[in-house]
Structure 1
Amino acid sequence: MPNLTEALATMEYGPSPESPGPALDWLKRAPFGHFIGGKFTRPADLFDAINPAAGAVLAQVSQGSVKDVNRAVTAARKAAKGWAKTPGADRARALYALARRMQKHARLFAVLETLNNGKPIRESRDIDVPLAIRHFYHHAGWAALVEDEFPGLHPHGVCGQIIPWNFPLLMLAWKVAPALAAGNTVVLKPAEYTPLTALLFADICAQVLPPGVVNIVTGDGATGAALVDHGDVDKIAFTGSTEVGRAIRGATAGSGKALTLELGGKSPFIVMADADLEAAVEGVVDAIWFNQGEVCCAGSRVLVQAAVAERFIARLKDRMARLRLGDPMDKGVDIGALVHPVQAARVGSILDQAVEQGAELHLAGTAVGNFCPPGLLTGLGTSNIGWSDEIFGPVAAVMSFRTPAEAVELANATRYGLAASIWSESATVAMDLAAQVKAGVVWINGTNLFDANAPFGGMRESGFGREGGRAGMLAYLAAPAPSGKERKALAAPAPLPGDEGAGGIDRTRKLYVGGKQARPDGGYSFAAPGGAAPLGNRKDIRNAVEAAAKAGGWTGLSGHARAQVLWFLAENLTARARDFAALVGEKEVAAAIDRALYWAGWTDKLEGRAADTVSGHLTLALNEPFGVMGVICPDEAPLLGFLSTVLPAIAFGNRVVAVPSQSAPNAALEMVQVLETSDVPAGVVNIVTGAQAELAAVLAAHDDAAALWVFADPATCAAAERAAAGNLKPVWAEVRARDWAGAEGRAGAFRANAVQVKTVWLPYGA
């Protein structure tokens, strides 16, 4: 160790270790059982929780079985009714008490997190633990407000939650805090590699919460699968890989379980020529290297404008060479250990493949054990595995671009859409790029900023649903469940009346695609009332989606401009009320006109919000349309159901491929003339009639349809959810007979499901 004179001359850092003593003392109670019904169970079927930096066993924990999961869900169900009926103020006190106790033991949580995860102590101590505590404080406030702010909604019931190893405590807080605030009970499965801070949290729950409100079952993927498959779990919230998320989407299809998926990412980090390059370099350090790259939203695809690319890469290499790799318990260390030998081997394998595929790898050191030095991949193409796949190690891939348009094209050339970071001294340039990048979170001149009041979540194969803020609370609340009578009424799809074999078919009715009437590829079938109706098929859906994709100008219009079109539509529908009454009756037509006026009124009134988050930042939660949406309209209200589902979707900027009532589709086809005379641009509304189950599955599987609504029988809803597992689009499936003429036909759920939240972080007043 250098003396003072030598240290001042070299400016080298000496060791500054954090004591593991208190955490190791707490671990002496190992081996650990599960935490079920307010108590720890007898340990059984043990496996090791290791310290990845030292390769030593920290403790042994229990492998959860199907029986253990059953016991935990039973305990949660037993506690659910009482916890849901607990006054919001009392739930608020409980969450506040959790936050206070976590704060009291913050150093213990931080040390235990670092010992078990391998991340540097300064990240656990200064970022992860304070943010986790912040979530419980924040959601204590929501617990006190939930009855006033979310009237008519209720907790789902029992929530199954599965979290990853990269942020063990923070991900726990993201999920448990809003679930409890909304009145749900929880069964949580921590990651197999990093269960220890969850078990420490269980200790605190035992002091504060009624038995069964929070239950923790440790184990591997089989334990998580048992939780997903359990028939008495009402909601699943999962953070992890896209592959597992896809399997969960398929496994829960048709179960009625609510679902939030926060999945993988390969986020772009865009550096414009006018950016503060030193700040952007530190952004890469913060996004990739300080956390070992073990962040799903890390900006690991670094895109640098060609004019400054050479200088920027040189600065990155210089900064990379000065980072300190070593014992994560040392407060002066920048990069700790990867979480497990399996992960270290995976990172090494991807880097080897990237080099084999033509990339040049620059490493500031040599990989030893679970320690991977910081690195850069250069000279690679978009098909290189180092550019396309998550590495989850401290290695960034760098590529240059020439124009902003090319930057957007490269940024969006991925199946993911979790986050993005944009660096420019021009607010106009930065906000223009932020609007075009497909990502649920966009940081401008910053990266990896999080707060309990800021929604976080992805698009595309990065999942759906949001955690944090108002949107995160909504994810843990539900509308009233359908009654048994409603389920029975929708037990089977309505039959297609008639067939092609009957004579005298009137072929004057056609599909409506891209602003034109088109003959159906699938022929015709009798329908009543109104005569024959065309039968659309896969090809017709493909054509309709293509037409909707070309109508992007509608999304770019202001809410006011779209409102004028919907007001005009209501006016023209009124003028043709008598014609529609012959098909569906005067009462339904009157309700349909009212519904058109209602959504015309809402079109320019869906507000985003500026969230109070990190000092020096303006955090905007913006409502962004999905783009192309599929809508399977209800069968029981041919005109009113069609307008009640299509109009909210287009009101907020989406373009729609609608499949109207199966048994009486002609009321929707009669709307073609109203659409054409109301200045609705071609491709904004496309109508394909036919067998709803078949067409729903086609829309669900179509990669260019970004979201899908299904109001149909259980089998059709289940098939659509199952088909959507391939591309992980959000599916709003309702197996219920709504009162379309009443308040249910204009519920807030239509507004919430017509948009996705994009969170944009802007420096402000710093």
Structure 2
Amino acid sequence: MPSVTEILEMMDYGAAPVSDRPAQDWLKAHSPLGHFIGGAFTEAANGQALPYPATGKELAQVAEGSADDVTRAVASARAAAPGWAALPPHERAEHLTKLAALLRKRQEVLAQLATRESGRAIHTTTATDVPEAIAQFTHFAHRAELLDETFPGRAPHGIVGIILPVQRAFVTLAAKVAPALAAGNTLVLKPAAEAPLTALAFAAICAEAGLPAGVINVVTGGAELDQTLAEAEIEMLSFTGPTEAGRALRIATAGSGKALALALGGRPPHLIFADADLDAAVEGVVTALESSPRLLVAEAVLERFTQKLTRRLETLRIGDPLDKGTDLGITVPPSHLAEIRARIAQGVEAGAELVQPNLSVHLPKNGQFCRPGLLLHVFPANPCFDAETLGPTTTLTSFRTPAEAVELANNSRFGRAAAVWSENITLATDIAAQIETGTVWINSSDLSAPGAPQEGLRESGVSQAGLAAYLAPSTVPALPEPPAVMIPESVLGESDVAKAVAQAEKAGGWSQKTGADRAQVLRAFSAELAVQQARIAERLQSLGHDPQEAAQAIRLAYRCAAHAETGADEALRPAPKTLALAQSLPWGVLGVACPVTQPLLGFAALVLPALAMGNRVVAISAPSLAQILPDLAQMLTKAGVPGGVLSLVNGPRDTWVQTLARHDGVAALWYAGNAEGAALAERQSAGNLKATWCPTERDWSAQPLSETLAQARQSKTIWLPYGA
């Protein structure tokens, strides 16, 4: 045993175990754990042992669900849906407020269960995860109060299936469940097989809080139930997890009409510049270690930063997650651990150098612990550079110039989050604007707050943010579209679509213009269209279409010009001395397959809002618009639309849309044909997980412009702490 003098010199500290008696009592009272359906727990049929990942000892017996269990849970949610949706928003807000109060009362047991099921350190689940989750319910209770004002005429989807991940399961649950309940949906939750405890405890607390039976249902079991839930009679599916699993769900739901929200993988790049506070950057990296960040470090400080980070890793306490002194629990399923080790071995074989600290506390022999590490000299060709999962191992790559740093950060198929470390605020904000991720933290890491969008870009996610995601689009009168006609692309020869995409990729300046500049161009186009109104109306009538489409298109064009200038950015203050700028950004290159039934109005209702939000558009127009296309092209040029910003392609829509779906240069795809073509567009887009919107067979004179504008943009949040 060390002396007092030696302890003062080491500044070390001993074990500080937390009693998890509340969690043990809860498990004892509810084990074996069945599903939660219709407001009560079922019998735990086909119980499977749930191990504590830190020791391997059994925590509880948990039911292994089946397709029949999913069907019963969906039926329970269906029975409760009309009553819950019919409640005035104020009453749903009251339910959420009461639920938040009861969760606050039960937060000790929730934190302990979260640590037990995931191995996440108790100080993190107690001080961060559970309070953050409870804040979601308070926030969306307030949003529910204003639902009729912010989303007039919108209704809930109905039944929402929610599939949860292993890590931060309760935080993810709250971020999805709170807005879904506020919007008026009923839910079927499917937690990860390794982490069902917080979801089941939450369901029990919902019943205690007086939520109507069937509003919340939980079915436990393996990953095979994810597909079962996706194919069930639900209206929306929300998934957080690995990219390949999300891709499979995208294919499973294609053409079903289900709304789909995917929050997928990606490792956040941390860009550390020469003038950064290196100590703060090191702590930010350690905070984000479980997400396996990609470190991009300026050569001028590469050696100093590497030394500081290596020393900091040496001081980490990794071990019993229920010890207050444990910094990182870092436990993973055995199969995942083997995958992490194999991937790191590939990186080392490709030339990287693995540095792993001699931990101050030995890892328990029976736990599923993953030793943290640092992979040095990782270049873009290394398989570890953009690997989706490396556990608590971070990679380090050097850069010389800010431009090179941005290029390395964006050299990824993912776009979840990033961090910029620099004391030069001008440089930091300039770099943050160029990084292609849904969230950017400046001189900070892993910040989040209710109401601040956390969307992923590219293959990190496909969804809208917040309450809007859990509300169905407005009901629009139907207009039938002709059946899909497929022509083999080999017969058609070289694709005009591919050429148009290449032109659009070169026209990035349109996306950088101010809203006022785009508004001026669109207003000029509107004026040109008005001058030609009579001739265009006569041409439409001769083709068998409603001549009123000309006047409707002109009014729509003027409205789009007005919306281009107003914008939709929002500055939030989620914490003291912290700003979060929620920006609305264009997708980039947007593919649009226009309707046939209303050729001019459908074209205007889709293409003009997309241009107003800063997108470059490749539009497959209706065949009957071919006689008007030269006039439209001339008017666009005269109005000042730069070349490549809008390409009008005339040809077989349902064939060319497949080219748009598969093209990696197209960031998002809209299809306004029929259900058969929509299913094809969604399936073909699963390969690169591009965002899709399929407003099929509708009367475009009744389509709310606000909903089209919302589909024409994506969200990016920049976090900016300030002050001393």
TM-score band (shorter)? over 0.9
2:299 maps to what in 1? 306
CA distance in 2, matches of 1:166, 1:594: 50
CA distance in 1, matches of 2:41, 2:125: 26
More moved, 662-671 vs 749-758: 662-671
Matched, 1:477 2:479: no
- CA spacing shift, 1:480–1:597, aligned 2, 3 Å: closer
1:741 maps to what in 2? 701
- CA spacing shift, 1:2–1:97, aligned 2, 3 Å: farther
Instruction: Say if 2:261 and 2:463, in contact at 8 Å, map to a contact too.
Output: yes
1:694 maps to what in 2? 655
- CA spacing shift, 1:338–1:669, aligned 2, 3 Å: farther
Question: Aligned to 1:44, what secondary structure does the other structure show?
Answer: coil
Instruction: Say if 1:642 and 1:668, in contact at 8 Å, map to a contact too.
Output: no
Per-residue CA deviation, residues 703-741 of structure 1 (Å, 9 max, x unaligned), is 000011111100111100000100111101012322x33
Structure 2 unaligned blocks of 5 or more = 542-546
1:643 maps to what in 2? 604
Using the TM superposition, give the Cα deviation of residue 537 of structure 1 relative to its aligned residue in structure 2, in angstroms: 6.5
Instruction: Say if 1:347 and 1:393, in contact at 8 Å, map to a contact too.
Output: yes
Instruction: Say if 1:443 and 1:760, in contact at 8 Å, map to a contact too.
Output: yes
Using the TM superposition, give the Cα deviation of residue 656 of structure 1 relative to its aligned residue in structure 2, in angstroms: 0.3
1:318 maps to what in 2? 311
CA distance in 2, matches of 1:455, 1:64: 33
Question: Aligned to 1:84, what secondary structure does the other structure show?
Answer: helix
Using the TM superposition, give the Cα deviation of residue 252 of structure 1 relative to its aligned residue in structure 2, in angstroms: 0.5
CA distance in 2, matches of 1:135, 1:583: 54
1:762 maps to what in 2? 720
Using the TM superposition, give the Cα deviation of residue 764 of structure 1 relative to its aligned residue in structure 2, in angstroms: 2.7
| Aligned ranges 1:27-426 → 2 under 5 Å | 27-28=27-28, 29-207=30-208, 208-230=210-232, 232-288=233-289, 293=290, 295=291, 300-365=293-358, 369-426=367-424
Instruction: Say if 2:50 and 2:61, in contact at 8 Å, map to a contact too.
Output: yes
Match of 2:549 among 588, 591, 594: 588
In the alignment of these two chains, the number of paired residues is: 711
Using the TM superposition, give the Cα deviation of residue 664 of structure 1 relative to its aligned residue in structure 2, in angstroms: 4.3
Q: Which amino acid aligns with 1:490?
A: E
Structure 1 unaligned blocks of 5 or more = 497-520, 524-535
Instruction: Say if 1:453 and 1:612, in contact at 8 Å, map to a contact too.
Output: no
1:14 maps to what in 2? 14
| Aligned ranges 1:631-710 → 2 under 5 Å | 631-710=592-671
Instruction: Say if 1:438 and 1:459, in contact at 8 Å, map to a contact too.
Output: yes
Using the TM superposition, give the Cα deviation of residue 2 of structure 1 relative to its aligned residue in structure 2, in angstroms: 4.2
Instruction: Say if 1:482 and 1:736, in contact at 8 Å, map to a contact too.
Output: no
Matched, 1:567 2:561: no
Instruction: Say if 1:491 and 1:714, in contact at 8 Å, map to a contact too.
Output: no
2:458 maps to what in 1? 460
Instruction: Say if 1:16 and 1:332, in contact at 8 Å, map to a contact too.
Output: yes
Instruction: Say if 1:494 and 1:662, in contact at 8 Å, map to a contact too.
Output: no
Using the TM superposition, give the Cα deviation of residue 566 of structure 1 relative to its aligned residue in structure 2, in angstroms: 0.8
Instruction: Say if 2:486 and 2:654, in contact at 8 Å, map to a contact too.
Output: no
Match of 2:481 among 475, 486, 490: 490
CA distance in 2, matches of 1:317, 1:339: 23
Instruction: Say if 1:152 and 1:479, in contact at 8 Å, map to a contact too.
Output: no
Per-residue CA deviation, residues 264-301 of structure 1 (Å, 9 max, x unaligned), is 0022100011111111111111111xxxx1x3xx5x11
2:544 maps to what in 1? none
Instruction: Say if 1:83 and 1:213, in contact at 8 Å, map to a contact too.
Output: yes
Instruction: Say if 1:445 and 1:763, in contact at 8 Å, map to a contact too.
Output: yes
- CA spacing shift, 1:333–1:660, aligned 2, 3 Å: same
CA distance in 2, matches of 1:11, 1:227: 52
Using the TM superposition, give the Cα deviation of residue 492 of structure 1 relative to its aligned residue in structure 2, in angstroms: 2.2
Using the TM superposition, give the Cα deviation of residue 224 of structure 1 relative to its aligned residue in structure 2, in angstroms: 1.3
Instruction: Say if 2:481 and 2:596, in contact at 8 Å, map to a contact too.
Output: no
CA distance in 2, matches of 1:248, 1:491: 28
1:516 maps to what in 2? none
CA distance in 2, matches of 1:590, 1:455: 37
CA distance in 2, matches of 1:481, 1:237: 22
Q: TM-score, normalised by structure 1?
A: 0.90
CA distance in 2, matches of 1:387, 1:364: 21
Using the TM superposition, give the Cα deviation of residue 324 of structure 1 relative to its aligned residue in structure 2, in angstroms: 1.0
Instruction: Say if 2:481 and 2:597, in contact at 8 Å, map to a contact too.
Output: no
Per-residue CA deviation, residues 416-473 of structure 1 (Å, 9 max, x unaligned), is 010000011111111111111110000000010011121112111101214xxxx310
Using the TM superposition, give the Cα deviation of residue 637 of structure 1 relative to its aligned residue in structure 2, in angstroms: 1.4
Q: Which amino acid aligns with 1:75?
A: S
| Aligned ranges 1:500-511 → 2 under 5 Å | none
Instruction: Say if 1:638 and 1:668, in contact at 8 Å, map to a contact too.
Output: no
CA distance in 2, matches of 1:220, 1:14: 39
CA distance in 2, matches of 1:697, 1:559: 31
Q: TM-score, normalised by structure 2?
A: 0.95
2:679 maps to what in 1? 718
Q: Which amino acid aligns with 1:14?
A: G
Q: Which amino acid aligns with 1:452?
A: P
